[in-house]
Amino acid sequence: MNEAYVTLVIFVAAYVLFVVLPTRRSLVACGGALLLLFSGVMSPLEAFLSINWNVMGIFVGMLVMADVFIESRCPAYLAECIVNRAPSTAWALLFICALTGAISMFVENVATVLIIAPIAIEMTKRLQISPVATIIGIAISSNLQGTATLIGDPPSMLLGGYAKMTFMDFFFYQGKPSIFFAVELGALASFVVLYMVFRRHGKKMTVMAVEKVESWTPAIALVLLIAALALSSFFDKEFSYMAGGLCMLFAAAMVIWAEITKRGAFLAGIKRLDWDTTFFLLGIFVIVHSLSGAGWIDRISTELSDLIGGNIFLGYTMLVFLSVAVSAFVDNVPFLAAMLPVALSLSERLHIDPTLFLFGLLIGASLGGNVTPIGASANIVGMGLLRKEGHPVTFRQWAAISVPFTIAAVLPAYLLVWFIWS
């Protein structure tokens, strides 16, 4: 068997195992990368260089920042303040979902759910209502808004790294409104869906203030990091090193601060980090690079271009909704990593600006994960929290909220990207 087919077999086997063994995805990804090395398809140096270390720096750095931010109790305090100012229970639940989305623009989705969900569960207990709809709303709101910025979630980081997009490029790219505005348009439409879900809870509620902010330093540091990332866009236009370096620098400063203020915080924080996703990303970079190097990306893009002919709208539509369908059941990180080079190659064959396909792919892959309880890591975490509270969630319960939410979010974003970038 030649190297191209060895690469394809390892790639397909890895994806099958991602679906069959979702809790072992990091082992599968790293195992696949090691098989590529042992089979001689890639050299250790080539594997090392295939990893986007700037993206890894952003991801690990933001994990540390999020952990220190959570431990400061600042997000929980903000949640209580918002709830107590809401005119009704329905609006309190909507505000909780909105706060989740706002935090998720700058903090990884799973961390965001872990920040907000305990407050929401406690709130529903006091009101004697089921927490199921609220936690589903929190998870899918987190997944939606994590797409809006470069540092919101791994798929956005992958796109930024691949297309060399800076932090500010997610707001305005090549002089045009970028992905942020498409996501926010979808968020407005999906907010209506959540209102329809929560509207039966009409009475006013008050949550007893129990949270006290231990320190505002992590919140200030997070704001400063966001400002630094925005400024870095002017100095590192190739998105090669500065964003990841800044995230790691701020993370190191927060680790030192946490250890000074609370002994033992460093080791406790290291244990809490999402090492599973970290090693998962490392392995995925290597596997997808091998697929591209073996020529399979060009073959796939050729087949797709032959299928759609010269109909760019058909190609764009297929890419978006195929991404939604696949990401509903397959982790969106490996899917997006595999499809980014396909989208770029396809756009070159059609002689169009690749931004249209790249943005459409990100929207479909990121928002499609909301459809099922297993489509995104934040969903799985939310289901686990509900199960722990004695509220197991069925597929039908999840889909009753997630499907209309996803349709409402995807359609406006999909159309806006087409009108701006076609």
Contact call for residues 357 and 344 (beta carbons, < 8 A): yes
Helix or strand (DSSP H, E) at 173? strand 172-173
The residue-averaged pLDDT of 410-418 equals 95
How far apart, in whole angstroms, are the C-alpha atoms of residue 187 and residue 413? 9
Residue 22's Cβ-count burial label (10 Å; 0-12, 13-18, 19+) is middle
First-to-last CA distance in the chain? 42
Q: Show the domain range for 130.
A: 51-421
Token readout for 129 is: 């209502």
Q: How far is CA 343 from CA 50, 283, 347, in A?
A: 19, 21, 6
Which residues have a Cβ under 8 Å from the Cβ of 3 and sit 6 or more positions away? 39, 40, 41, 294
Indicate whether 1 belongs to any domain: no
Least confident of 15-19, 147-151, 253-257, 340-344: 15-19
Q: Residue 67 pLDDT > 80, yes or no?
A: no
pLDDT of residue 343: 85
Q: Is residue 170 part of a domain?
A: yes
Look at 16 and 333; give whichever has higher pLDDT: 16
Q: Is 15 a domain residue?
A: no
pLDDT at 418: 95
Tell me: pLDDT of 207 over 60.
Answer: no
Tens-digit pLDDT profile for residues 214-262: 788 888 888 888 788 777 766 766 556 777 888 889 888 888 888 888 7
Residue 409 included in any domain: yes
Examine residue 2 and state whether it is found in any structural domain, yes or no. no
What does the DSSP 8-state code read for residue 169?
G
Q: Shortest CA distance to 334 belongs to which of 376, 296, 371, 370?
A: 376
The gap from C-alpha 276 to its chain's centroid, in whole angstroms, comes to: 15
pLDDT score, position 202: 63
pLDDT at 1: 58
> Could you tell me what percent of the chain has a pLDDT over 70?
89
Q: Mean of the per-residue pLDDT values for the chain?
A: 82
315 neighbors 364 (Cβ within 8 angstroms)? no
pLDDT bracket for residue 386 (50, 70, 90): confident
pLDDT per residue over 129-144, tens digit each?
Answer: 888 999 999 999 998 9
pLDDT value for 298 = 67
DSSP code of 151? T
CB 149 within 8 A of CB 156: yes
Q: What's the rounded mean pLDDT across residues 92-104? A: 87
Q: pLDDT tens digits for 353-368? A: 889 999 999 999 889 8
Report the pLDDT value the prediction gives residue 211, as an integer from 0 to 100: 64
Q: Kindly indicate the confidence band of residue 39, based on its pLDDT and cuts at 50, 70 and 90.
A: confident
Looking at residue 301, its pLDDT comes to: 63
13 is a domain residue: no
Q: Alpha carbon 350 to chain centroid distance? A: 29
| 43 located within any domain | no
Query: Does residue 41 fall inside a structural domain?
Result: no
- What is the total count of domains within the chain? 1
pLDDT at 14 over 80: yes
Give dist(CA 284, CA 313) in Å, integer: 30
pLDDT band at 413 (very low <50, low <70, confident <90, very high): very high
Q: Which of 24-28, 204-208, 262-266 has the lowest mean pLDDT?
A: 204-208
Q: Check: CB of residue 330 under 8 Å from CB of residue 292.
A: no
The closest of 121, 123, 142, 140 to 132, measured between CA atoms, is: 121
